[in-house]
Structure 1
Amino acid sequence: MAEILSVIELGNSILRQRSRPVGDLHHRRIQTLVDNLMATLSNTNGVGIAAPQVAQSERLFIVASRPNPRYPNAPEMEPTVMINPRILAHSEQVVKGWEGCLSVPGIRGLVPRYQAIEVEYIGRDGSQHRQELTDFVARIFQHELDHLNGIVFLDRVESTLDLISEKEFQAQMAQTNS
Protein backbone atom coordinates (compact mmCIF):
# COMPACT_ATOMS: atom_id res chain seq x y z
CA MET A 1 0.00 0.00 0.00
CA ALA A 2 1.31 3.45 -0.95
CA GLU A 3 2.45 5.79 1.78
CA ILE A 4 1.89 9.55 1.91
CA LEU A 5 5.33 11.06 2.39
CA SER A 6 6.33 14.30 4.10
CA VAL A 7 7.20 17.09 1.69
CA ILE A 8 10.42 18.84 2.66
CA GLU A 9 10.55 22.63 2.57
CA LEU A 10 12.90 25.36 1.43
CA GLY A 11 16.02 25.29 3.61
CA ASN A 12 16.45 21.53 3.42
CA SER A 13 19.74 21.02 1.58
CA ILE A 14 18.34 18.22 -0.63
CA LEU A 15 16.25 20.82 -2.49
CA ARG A 16 19.48 22.52 -3.59
CA GLN A 17 21.29 19.39 -4.83
CA ARG A 18 21.45 17.96 -8.35
CA SER A 19 19.69 14.59 -8.27
CA ARG A 20 21.35 11.41 -9.46
CA PRO A 21 20.04 9.56 -12.53
CA VAL A 22 17.79 6.58 -11.91
CA GLY A 23 19.63 3.38 -12.85
CA ASP A 24 17.41 0.33 -12.39
CA LEU A 25 13.93 1.78 -12.62
CA HIS A 26 12.43 -1.68 -12.05
CA HIS A 27 14.06 -1.90 -8.61
CA ARG A 28 11.44 -2.23 -5.87
CA ARG A 29 12.75 0.90 -4.12
CA ILE A 30 12.12 3.05 -7.23
CA GLN A 31 8.69 1.52 -7.93
CA THR A 32 7.70 2.06 -4.28
CA LEU A 33 8.94 5.67 -4.50
CA VAL A 34 6.73 6.20 -7.57
CA ASP A 35 3.69 4.77 -5.74
CA ASN A 36 4.40 6.96 -2.72
CA LEU A 37 4.88 10.08 -4.88
CA MET A 38 1.51 9.40 -6.56
CA ALA A 39 -0.20 9.09 -3.16
CA THR A 40 1.54 12.19 -1.81
CA LEU A 41 0.65 14.24 -4.89
CA SER A 42 -2.98 13.18 -4.71
CA ASN A 43 -3.09 14.17 -1.03
CA THR A 44 -1.57 17.66 -1.52
CA ASN A 45 -3.53 19.22 -4.42
CA GLY A 46 -0.33 19.58 -6.39
CA VAL A 47 -0.03 19.25 -10.17
CA GLY A 48 3.47 17.83 -10.03
CA ILE A 49 5.95 16.44 -7.54
CA ALA A 50 9.64 15.60 -7.80
CA ALA A 51 11.52 12.97 -5.80
CA PRO A 52 13.78 15.59 -4.12
CA GLN A 53 10.65 17.11 -2.55
CA VAL A 54 10.30 13.97 -0.46
CA ALA A 55 14.03 13.90 0.34
CA GLN A 56 14.92 11.37 -2.39
CA SER A 57 17.73 12.56 -4.65
CA GLU A 58 16.52 10.70 -7.76
CA ARG A 59 15.88 12.12 -11.27
CA LEU A 60 12.20 11.40 -11.42
CA PHE A 61 8.97 13.31 -11.09
CA ILE A 62 5.26 13.08 -11.78
CA VAL A 63 3.30 15.56 -13.88
CA ALA A 64 -0.41 15.38 -13.06
CA SER A 65 -2.27 18.47 -14.19
CA ARG A 66 -5.86 18.61 -12.98
CA PRO A 67 -8.20 21.27 -11.65
CA ASN A 68 -7.96 21.50 -7.86
CA PRO A 69 -8.21 24.18 -5.15
CA ARG A 70 -4.60 25.33 -5.77
CA TYR A 71 -4.95 25.35 -9.59
CA PRO A 72 -8.67 25.63 -10.45
CA ASN A 73 -8.05 26.28 -14.17
CA ALA A 74 -5.50 23.50 -14.74
CA PRO A 75 -6.13 21.21 -17.71
CA GLU A 76 -6.94 17.55 -17.04
CA MET A 77 -4.34 14.88 -17.82
CA GLU A 78 -3.39 11.42 -16.62
CA PRO A 79 -0.62 11.44 -14.00
CA THR A 80 2.61 10.75 -15.89
CA VAL A 81 5.77 9.34 -14.33
CA MET A 82 8.87 10.86 -15.93
CA ILE A 83 12.22 9.23 -15.17
CA ASN A 84 15.57 10.80 -16.16
CA PRO A 85 13.71 13.58 -18.02
CA ARG A 86 15.32 16.23 -20.18
CA ILE A 87 14.40 19.06 -22.51
CA LEU A 88 15.54 18.49 -26.09
CA ALA A 89 14.30 21.78 -27.58
CA HIS A 90 12.21 24.78 -26.61
CA SER A 91 10.29 27.62 -28.17
CA GLU A 92 11.74 31.10 -28.28
CA GLN A 93 8.54 32.38 -26.70
CA VAL A 94 8.76 32.78 -22.93
CA VAL A 95 5.57 33.33 -20.95
CA LYS A 96 5.20 34.46 -17.34
CA GLY A 97 2.75 32.53 -15.20
CA TRP A 98 1.93 32.09 -11.53
CA GLU A 99 3.58 29.16 -9.77
CA GLY A 100 3.46 27.77 -6.29
CA CYS A 101 5.38 24.89 -4.78
CA LEU A 102 4.63 22.30 -2.13
CA SER A 103 8.18 22.88 -0.82
CA VAL A 104 7.70 26.67 -0.65
CA PRO A 105 4.32 26.96 1.08
CA GLY A 106 2.43 30.24 1.33
CA ILE A 107 4.07 32.01 -1.65
CA ARG A 108 3.33 32.30 -5.37
CA GLY A 109 5.64 33.79 -7.95
CA LEU A 110 5.26 35.06 -11.50
CA VAL A 111 7.81 32.85 -13.29
CA PRO A 112 9.03 33.08 -16.91
CA ARG A 113 9.04 29.70 -18.69
CA TYR A 114 9.25 28.45 -22.27
CA GLN A 115 5.76 28.24 -23.78
CA ALA A 116 6.56 24.99 -25.63
CA ILE A 117 9.19 22.32 -25.04
CA GLU A 118 10.15 19.03 -26.63
CA VAL A 119 11.00 16.52 -23.92
CA GLU A 120 12.33 13.03 -23.51
CA TYR A 121 11.88 10.74 -20.52
CA ILE A 122 11.54 7.11 -19.52
CA GLY A 123 8.14 5.92 -18.34
CA ARG A 124 7.55 3.80 -15.27
CA ASP A 125 7.49 0.65 -17.44
CA GLY A 126 10.87 1.45 -19.02
CA SER A 127 9.52 2.76 -22.32
CA GLN A 128 11.19 5.76 -23.94
CA HIS A 129 8.95 8.80 -24.55
CA ARG A 130 9.47 11.91 -26.64
CA GLN A 131 6.75 14.55 -26.87
CA GLU A 132 5.96 18.22 -27.14
CA LEU A 133 4.43 19.93 -24.13
CA THR A 134 2.85 23.37 -24.20
CA ASP A 135 1.43 26.01 -21.90
CA PHE A 136 0.57 24.89 -18.33
CA VAL A 137 1.85 21.31 -18.73
CA ALA A 138 5.15 22.62 -20.15
CA ARG A 139 5.34 24.91 -17.10
CA ILE A 140 4.85 21.98 -14.72
CA PHE A 141 7.58 19.95 -16.49
CA GLN A 142 10.06 22.85 -16.29
CA HIS A 143 9.21 23.48 -12.62
CA GLU A 144 9.74 19.82 -11.71
CA LEU A 145 12.90 19.52 -13.82
CA ASP A 146 14.28 22.49 -11.88
CA HIS A 147 13.80 20.49 -8.67
CA LEU A 148 16.03 17.75 -10.10
CA ASN A 149 18.72 20.41 -10.67
CA GLY A 150 18.52 22.00 -7.21
CA ILE A 151 16.51 25.03 -8.38
CA VAL A 152 13.24 26.33 -6.89
CA PHE A 153 10.81 28.69 -8.62
CA LEU A 154 11.94 31.61 -6.43
CA ASP A 155 15.29 31.44 -8.25
CA ARG A 156 13.50 32.17 -11.55
CA VAL A 157 11.37 35.13 -10.43
CA GLU A 158 12.68 38.31 -12.07
CA SER A 159 11.67 40.72 -9.28
CA THR A 160 10.41 40.52 -5.72
CA LEU A 161 7.43 42.51 -7.07
CA ASP A 162 6.46 39.24 -8.80
CA LEU A 163 5.84 37.50 -5.45
CA ILE A 164 2.48 37.23 -3.71
CA SER A 165 1.13 35.36 -0.69
CA GLU A 166 -0.95 32.27 -1.34
CA LYS A 167 -3.88 33.85 0.52
CA GLU A 168 -3.82 36.97 -1.67
CA PHE A 169 -3.39 34.84 -4.81
CA GLN A 170 -6.48 32.80 -3.94
CA ALA A 171 -8.46 35.97 -3.20
CA GLN A 172 -7.50 37.44 -6.58
CA MET A 173 -8.35 34.16 -8.36
CA ALA A 174 -11.77 34.12 -6.68
CA GLN A 175 -12.43 37.69 -7.92
CA THR A 176 -11.29 36.82 -11.45
CA ASN A 177 -13.45 33.67 -11.60
CA SER A 178 -16.61 35.32 -10.23
Structure 2
Amino acid sequence: MADFVQTTVNKTAVRDLAVPIASVTSFNNLIQSVIDDNPFGCVGYTGADGQPVAAVVRNREHYTAKVNFLNGEGKRVGTVSIQSPTIAAFEANAAEVMGNAALEAAMGGEAVRNAPGETYYAQLKCHDPSGDDYYVTFTRKTVRISSYQDDAIRNAVEAWADTVGSLD
Protein backbone atom coordinates (compact mmCIF):
# COMPACT_ATOMS: atom_id res chain seq x y z
CA MET A 1 0.00 0.00 0.00
CA ALA A 2 1.39 3.43 -0.95
CA ASP A 3 1.84 6.16 1.66
CA PHE A 4 1.04 9.84 1.27
CA VAL A 5 4.21 11.92 1.21
CA GLN A 6 4.06 15.55 2.28
CA THR A 7 5.18 17.82 -0.55
CA THR A 8 4.53 21.29 0.85
CA VAL A 9 3.74 23.03 4.08
CA ASN A 10 1.08 25.68 3.64
CA LYS A 11 0.40 27.99 6.54
CA THR A 12 -2.38 30.33 7.62
CA ALA A 13 -2.17 33.32 9.94
CA VAL A 14 -4.94 35.68 11.04
CA ARG A 15 -5.07 39.14 12.62
CA ASP A 16 -8.25 40.06 14.48
CA LEU A 17 -8.97 43.78 14.23
CA ALA A 18 -9.72 45.70 17.42
CA VAL A 19 -12.30 47.83 15.58
CA PRO A 20 -14.21 46.67 12.46
CA ILE A 21 -13.49 48.57 9.24
CA ALA A 22 -16.00 51.40 9.33
CA SER A 23 -17.47 51.50 5.83
CA VAL A 24 -17.48 49.75 2.50
CA THR A 25 -15.69 52.80 1.04
CA SER A 26 -12.86 52.50 3.57
CA PHE A 27 -12.73 48.76 2.92
CA ASN A 28 -12.54 49.22 -0.85
CA ASN A 29 -9.88 51.93 -0.52
CA LEU A 30 -7.78 49.54 1.56
CA ILE A 31 -8.13 46.70 -0.96
CA GLN A 32 -7.41 48.97 -3.92
CA SER A 33 -4.31 50.39 -2.19
CA VAL A 34 -2.89 46.86 -1.80
CA ILE A 35 -3.54 46.18 -5.50
CA ASP A 36 -2.13 49.54 -6.64
CA ASP A 37 0.82 49.86 -4.23
CA ASN A 38 1.79 46.16 -4.01
CA PRO A 39 3.24 46.56 -0.49
CA PHE A 40 4.18 42.86 -0.25
CA GLY A 41 6.57 42.94 -3.22
CA CYS A 42 4.61 40.50 -5.36
CA VAL A 43 5.45 40.02 -9.04
CA GLY A 44 3.40 39.59 -12.17
CA TYR A 45 3.72 36.44 -14.26
CA THR A 46 2.44 34.72 -17.37
CA GLY A 47 -0.52 32.41 -16.74
CA ALA A 48 -0.99 28.92 -18.15
CA ASP A 49 -3.03 30.46 -20.97
CA GLY A 50 -0.08 32.68 -21.96
CA GLN A 51 -1.79 35.83 -20.69
CA PRO A 52 -0.08 38.21 -18.25
CA VAL A 53 -1.33 38.09 -14.65
CA ALA A 54 -0.86 41.07 -12.34
CA ALA A 55 1.18 40.68 -9.15
CA VAL A 56 -1.90 41.18 -6.93
CA VAL A 57 -5.45 40.46 -8.13
CA ARG A 58 -8.90 40.23 -6.60
CA ASN A 59 -9.50 36.51 -6.40
CA ARG A 60 -13.03 36.61 -4.98
CA GLU A 61 -15.21 39.05 -3.11
CA HIS A 62 -18.71 39.51 -1.76
CA TYR A 63 -20.56 42.09 0.30
CA THR A 64 -23.64 41.53 2.44
CA ALA A 65 -26.08 44.39 3.04
CA LYS A 66 -28.49 44.19 5.99
CA VAL A 67 -31.81 45.98 6.27
CA ASN A 68 -34.01 45.79 9.35
CA PHE A 69 -37.73 46.53 9.36
CA LEU A 70 -38.91 48.39 12.47
CA ASN A 71 -42.53 48.80 13.58
CA GLY A 72 -44.00 51.97 15.11
CA GLU A 73 -42.50 51.14 18.53
CA GLY A 74 -39.02 50.69 17.06
CA LYS A 75 -39.12 46.91 17.44
CA ARG A 76 -37.51 44.84 14.67
CA VAL A 77 -40.23 42.87 12.88
CA GLY A 78 -38.13 41.62 9.98
CA THR A 79 -34.74 41.67 8.35
CA VAL A 80 -33.30 41.18 4.88
CA SER A 81 -29.72 40.18 4.04
CA ILE A 82 -28.50 40.47 0.48
CA GLN A 83 -25.13 39.08 -0.59
CA SER A 84 -23.76 40.78 -3.68
CA PRO A 85 -20.68 40.06 -5.82
CA THR A 86 -19.45 43.67 -6.04
CA ILE A 87 -19.66 46.90 -4.10
CA ALA A 88 -21.76 48.47 -6.87
CA ALA A 89 -24.27 45.61 -6.62
CA PHE A 90 -24.13 45.82 -2.79
CA GLU A 91 -25.13 49.50 -2.87
CA ALA A 92 -27.75 49.06 -5.61
CA ASN A 93 -29.36 46.06 -3.90
CA ALA A 94 -29.48 47.79 -0.52
CA ALA A 95 -31.09 50.85 -2.12
CA GLU A 96 -33.64 48.62 -3.86
CA VAL A 97 -34.66 47.00 -0.56
CA MET A 98 -34.72 50.36 1.25
CA GLY A 99 -37.03 51.84 -1.39
CA ASN A 100 -39.37 48.87 -1.77
CA ALA A 101 -42.77 49.97 -0.41
CA ALA A 102 -44.36 46.55 -1.05
CA LEU A 103 -41.65 44.85 1.01
CA GLU A 104 -42.11 47.37 3.84
CA ALA A 105 -45.85 46.71 3.83
CA ALA A 106 -45.34 42.95 3.82
CA MET A 107 -42.84 43.16 6.69
CA GLY A 108 -45.07 45.53 8.66
CA GLY A 109 -42.36 48.06 9.37
CA GLU A 110 -40.07 50.78 8.06
CA ALA A 111 -36.82 49.79 6.33
CA VAL A 112 -33.69 50.88 8.22
CA ARG A 113 -30.16 50.06 7.04
CA ASN A 114 -28.15 48.04 9.58
CA ALA A 115 -24.65 49.20 8.60
CA PRO A 116 -22.88 47.72 11.66
CA GLY A 117 -24.29 44.29 10.78
CA GLU A 118 -23.08 44.36 7.18
CA THR A 119 -20.15 42.22 6.07
CA TYR A 120 -17.41 42.70 3.49
CA TYR A 121 -15.09 40.03 2.10
CA ALA A 122 -12.27 40.37 -0.43
CA GLN A 123 -9.58 37.80 -1.12
CA LEU A 124 -6.46 38.93 -2.95
CA LYS A 125 -4.19 36.48 -4.76
CA CYS A 126 -0.53 37.44 -4.59
CA HIS A 127 2.35 35.95 -6.57
CA ASP A 128 5.56 35.90 -4.52
CA PRO A 129 8.92 36.31 -6.29
CA SER A 130 9.69 32.72 -5.18
CA GLY A 131 6.88 31.57 -7.49
CA ASP A 132 4.44 30.72 -4.70
CA ASP A 133 0.90 32.03 -4.79
CA TYR A 134 -0.72 32.99 -1.51
CA TYR A 135 -3.88 34.77 -0.44
CA VAL A 136 -4.58 37.79 1.74
CA THR A 137 -8.23 37.84 2.76
CA PHE A 138 -9.84 40.91 4.28
CA THR A 139 -13.12 41.10 6.16
CA ARG A 140 -14.44 43.92 8.32
CA LYS A 141 -12.97 42.20 11.39
CA THR A 142 -9.93 40.19 10.22
CA VAL A 143 -7.00 39.94 7.85
CA ARG A 144 -5.95 36.39 6.97
CA ILE A 145 -2.88 35.21 5.10
CA SER A 146 -3.25 31.69 3.72
CA SER A 147 -1.46 29.13 1.58
CA TYR A 148 1.97 30.60 2.23
CA GLN A 149 5.07 28.56 2.93
CA ASP A 150 7.83 31.06 3.70
CA ASP A 151 7.49 33.02 6.96
CA ALA A 152 9.00 36.00 5.12
CA ILE A 153 5.61 36.38 3.40
CA ARG A 154 3.79 36.60 6.74
CA ASN A 155 6.45 39.01 8.02
CA ALA A 156 6.01 41.28 4.97
CA VAL A 157 2.21 41.37 5.30
CA GLU A 158 2.46 41.90 9.05
CA ALA A 159 4.98 44.74 8.68
CA TRP A 160 2.65 46.45 6.19
CA ALA A 161 -0.44 45.88 8.36
CA ASP A 162 1.39 47.45 11.31
CA THR A 163 1.56 50.71 9.31
CA VAL A 164 -2.17 50.78 8.49
CA GLY A 165 -4.15 52.35 11.33
CA SER A 166 -7.42 50.59 10.51
CA LEU A 167 -5.69 47.18 10.84
CA ASP A 168 -4.73 47.47 14.52
Instruction: Give TM-score, length-normalised by structure 1.
Output: 0.25
Larger Rg: 2
**Higher share in strand:** 2
Higher relative contact order (CA 8 A, sep 6+): 2
